[in-house]
Amino acid sequence: MPIEILMPALSPTMEEGTLAKWLVKEGDTVSSGDILAEIETDKATMEFEAVDEGTVGKILIEAGAEGVKVNTPIAVMLEEGESADDIGDVSPAPKPVDQPTETAPATPASPPAGGYSGEEAAPKTTGGGSSGGTRVFATPLARRIAADKGLDLSQVKGSGPHGRIVKADVEAARPGKADAPSAEAASAPAAKKADATVMPAGPSTEAVMKMYADRDYQEVKLDGMRRTVASRLTEAKQTIPHFYLRRDIKLDALLKFRSQLNTQLEGRGVKLSVNDFIIKASALALQTVPDANAVWAADRLLKLKPSDVAVAVAVDGGLFTPVLKDAEMKSLSALSAEMKDLAKRARDRKLAPHEYVGGSFAISNLGMFGIDNFDAVINPPHGAILAVGAGVKKPVVGADGELTVATIMSVTLSVDHRVIDGALGAELLKAIVENLENPMMMLA
């Protein structure tokens, strides 16, 4: 039976995308892993791979189409022995997401199996189907091989997108041998459905346009990134109980140390920025105050062991927050090189989802724009974000009571009170300040 290929969710926040380019045409034979198309998500342009083998029978959505909803059929794949006459009528309309039954554990709504139709992924009741009424996602070829081998697909762990069972999984499985369920799956309770909450809404589009009917203006269409930024930041401010901690940091010792290091590293083509030191200082502070290295997970906290630090990068029409993983383990020069690479690819919209998803702590630096201080919005599920202002020469009273001049940088730590209490947040910020005011400590 022909398989509908659906518009996939290629990033965690993607609801629709642009089908930028087809890399196959009708009649082409494809194998698992072949690139079918390039799709522009709300964050980047990504390649979409085939998860099974077959022939491209019909392309439903032309290249360049914008606003294609996730789960919309974009093409039809034919299996061996099938022809275009077997396709029938296929409508390029979004497929509804299956609702969990009362007996099935609740799972987050997501498009089925990496862009392949959930109808075709559903198990048969015979020959490698499901057991106990539990829905199993598998490719038609995997189901056929499972039936020949006498395998129960509900006992096979899928390695395809969203856990979908593919050909390689059933070929590697042995009859009567079940894959051991993960500890996480065994211990995770069914997710509780949150009570619907009515969020306050602003004036309608029509009402706002009416206000400015007699004024000259340009209407700017929202792209996927702008919609995502608006949605997530509105959610963050409405659902996260922010509180703010502020400190001034004396930068003179760091600036002198940075200048010395850059002179010594010039031959290697390395130039450290103040932001590289801030990343390192934050990563080490999360190790010093491990209880603050945590994220909010609906009904629990997740305390991370590594320091995965996200850094906000401005791009045309929005921003990315690429994550530097295990930042506490990396040298300043390694962090500098990685940050430059991530920032460049963020501006080119070439980051993969795993490069901007995750982290427990974020940094937003507007100092290069001359901003003295500001309050940043927490990026859920992070526990905190550090807003960094410019280093400015100011008069200060020294330890001996004498008036002197120092370079002062103002920072504000925005904290999720569900994750980090006031005293804990103050302890974290103190550790960051100590690292930056005593930069040699970060190399010890």
Q: Would you say residue 196 has pLDDT above 60? A: no
* Surface-to-core class of residue 279, CB atoms within 10 Å of its CB (0-12 exposed, 13-18 middle, 19+ buried): buried
CB distance 24 to 36 below 8 Å? yes
Name beta bridge partners: 49.
Answer: 35
Using 50, 70 and 90 to split pLDDT, how confident is the model at 144? Answer: confident
CB distance 124 to 132 below 8 Å? no
Q: How far apart are CA 366 and CA 194, in angstroms?
A: 36
Nearest CA to 360 among 428, 307, 435?
Answer: 307
The token pair at 416 is 């999720």
Name beta bridge partners: 247.
Answer: 411
Residue 382 designated active-site: no
pLDDT of residue 149: 78
Nearest CA to 254 among 396, 406, 436?
Answer: 436
* Active-site residue, from 162, 242, 354, 417: 417
Using 50, 70 and 90 to split pLDDT, how confident is the model at 195? Answer: very low
The DSSP symbol for 46 reads E
Q: What's the whole-number mean pLDDT along residues 133-149?
A: 71
50-74: per-residue pLDDT in tens?
Answer: 887 888 888 999 998 888 888 899 9
Using 50, 70 and 90 to split pLDDT, how confident is the model at 297? Answer: very high
Say how far residue 361 (Cα) sits from the centre of its chain.
14
Q: What's the whole-number mean pLDDT along residues 209-233?
A: 87
Using 50, 70 and 90 to split pLDDT, how confident is the model at 183? Answer: very low
SS3 of 123, please? coil
Q: What is the DSSP string of 171-239?
A: HH--TT-PPPPPHHHHHPPPPPPPPP--------HHHHHHHTTTS--------HHHHHHHHHHHHHHHH
Q: Would you say residue 178 has pLDDT above 90? A: no
Q: How far apart are CA 283 and CA 289, in angstroms?
A: 10
CB distance 174 to 152 below 8 Å? no
The residue with greater pLDDT, 306 or 114, is 306
Q: What's the whole-number mean pLDDT along residues 105-119?
A: 42
Sign of the alpha-carbon dihedral angle for 367, 380, 318, 206: negative
